[in-house]
Amino acid sequence: MSTTTRLFDRKKPPRESKEIAAKKKRLEFLRAKRKAKEEKQKADEKKKKSVKSRTPAKPRATAVEPTNVDSAANAADIQALLSSFQQITTTSPQRELGSISSSPRSDLSAGVSTPVHSSENAGASPASSVRPNRQINLGVCVQRPIDIVTREIPRYDRGVQTDADEIALRNAPSEEELQKKSSIEESERQRIKALEDRVQKAESELKRRIEEDEKRSERKESHREGLSSEEVTEVMSSKPFADFLQRASLHVERALTQHDVTKEYFPEDRSEQTDDQKESIVHRSLFRDKRRCSGRSVTSIDWSPLHPELFLTSYASSTDEVLSDSPDGLVIIWSLRLPSRPERVFTCQAAVLTAQFHPKNAHLIFGGTFSGQIVIWDTRRRDTPSIRTRFSNGHIHPVYWIALISSVQSRESLITISNDGTLCVWNDLLLIEPSIRIHLQIRRKEEVTTPAVGFPVRDPSQLVLGSDEGDLYKAKIYDEHPGIHATSQGHSGPITSIAFHPASKETPSEVANLFLTSSYDWTCKLRSNKMPTAMATFEFARAYVLDVKWSPVHPAVFAMSDASGVLSIWNLNEETELPVLTKTISSDKALSRIQWSRDGKQIAVGDSSGSVSVFDINQEVAIPGPDDALKFYHSIKNPKIFRDR
């Protein structure tokens, strides 16, 4: 019988002891545990490889010899199990075993082999057929797998390796999204590169053109011989050159005349000055534009509230035939620093009878014309009026007087009066339509001619008007019955000017109600708005008294000009019969208008020929002392003392 036959014909193998079965189960459990750990380790390594493949790094090939911490413990357990098998085999009874094949049988997959008996023992006696003790040889085989990793370039994340990395890995964009993003970035880079190329090309082109222009200009300058006489004449007669020359020369002349090197500002010995020199009127500058002002009379003078060195003058229409083509209306702004030429020139179609600066906005100039129109110039714009009234709703006769006042509602109102006695109040400075229009008449229904008007500083609604007949009229604007409500005899000739006292808030009402009147009857009178008759009459003039003005700083000083060319300065605290200062400016020209500077130290005088002279007034006369205001107040309260002085 063959070995194969005996192998399949043998009887049921003998039953193993419980200890051997338990040991085998223990051995299988340990092997399974070890295998599971190895599989887990391989899975972890595979996972790490997949992570590294997504984040490309520098490849490198290394031989990895994995070490297992639990391998030593497993080997110790196996060794203990083998030793227990040897003890069992030596002490267990002999058992009869069937015939087995000559080929070895592997009962244990871990290297435990069982010896195979030959067929010669099949016919032996029972005693001899007892299987001898099997010799089991067990050994420990430690496998050391070595993996050769492909060369990769490692890239490390700056973050912390935690469980969040797995979450980020799961939320990582797909390959398609990464490709799409990469394509967008590539197109953006190409677009930026194209723009940079265009900018670089444009810069190079601009640089080339600049170099060509410089070379061309250098060649032109090198070959230029100079302008011909025709070219010079053409340039000098052009309007741009004339405008430039006018602006540039204006600044140069102003700088040259700002400081006079020939003037002695600090005389060495002031005690040598005589009384006449101390109390004199010193001529400072003469302002005259022969080309524009020839044959014109000065109609008004006003100092700028913003720039103390500037003042304006308005002029009547010219009687010179040479200037027949020029506009009738003319307003010139002069500067004390530049008396040789005007600072600005403004024109209109009708003669300007009165003009003044806006008290708060020095860029605006108001004017009343011979045609009856009210005009407004803006110095920031053109030289012609920016705003003007219409004849349908304004004046139709010459306007000799305008005043800008603050109304009861603290709004600015412009009051204008024409020669026919028409009074208009303009609340809107656009001059669209007057808010109040009054036709001043007396009881006999006769029109009132009013070349001179004035009002108290503290009550602008009460006006005092002087007529050509020499009468004085008192009128109210904001009243139930607006118009003239009182009449008194003023002068025996036409009244030329009315000047109210420039009282301050601290000035008593007795002084604030004072006003001066001048007339063709060669006199000037001091009056009070609360008294029907004159308080004093000044008869020094030898011709028509054309204008009179109070000093803006001294309570008892005023100036008077007449048609004989004499300027006189009066101080009522010192003398009431004679002026304290006199100056004959011109013997053949009438002094039509005068105006004090706002500091009271200078006075501008305009004559009938269009010339304007500025004089410095002696400081002892122009500047008030500490007791001058109180002294003048006591004189006014006692009219008898005032008349007897």
Q: What is the DSSP string of 437-486?
A: EEE-B-TT-PBPP-SEEE--SS-TTEEEEE-TTSEEEEEESSSSS-EEEE
Closest CA to 328 of 346, 301, 306, 343: 346
Choice between 189 and 87, residue whose per-residue pLDDT is larger: 189
d(CA 573, CA 561): 20
Give the rounded percent of residues in the chain with a pLDDT score beyond 90.
Answer: 33
The secondary structure of 586-597 as a DSSP string is -SSS-EEEEEE-
Residues in the chain: 645
Question: Reduced to 3 states, what is the DSSP secondary structure of residue 56?
Answer: coil
**Band of residue 45 on the pLDDT scale cut at 50, 70, 90:** confident
**Contact in structure between 557 and 568 (CB atoms under 8 Å):** no
d(CA 269, CA 532): 51
Distance of alpha carbon 342 from the chain centroid: 34
Instruction: Tell me the pLDDT tens digit for each residue of 289-326.
Output: 888 888 899 999 999 998 999 999 999 988 776 666 67
For 195-244, the pLDDT digits (tens) are 999 999 999 999 999 998 888 887 776 655 667 788 888 888 888 888 78
Nearest CA to 400 among 449, 437, 360? 449
pLDDT higher than 70, residue 72: no
Mean pLDDT confidence for 492-500 = 94
Mean pLDDT over 458-486 rounds to 88
Which residues have C-beta within 8 Å of that of residue 183, sequence separation ≥ 6? none
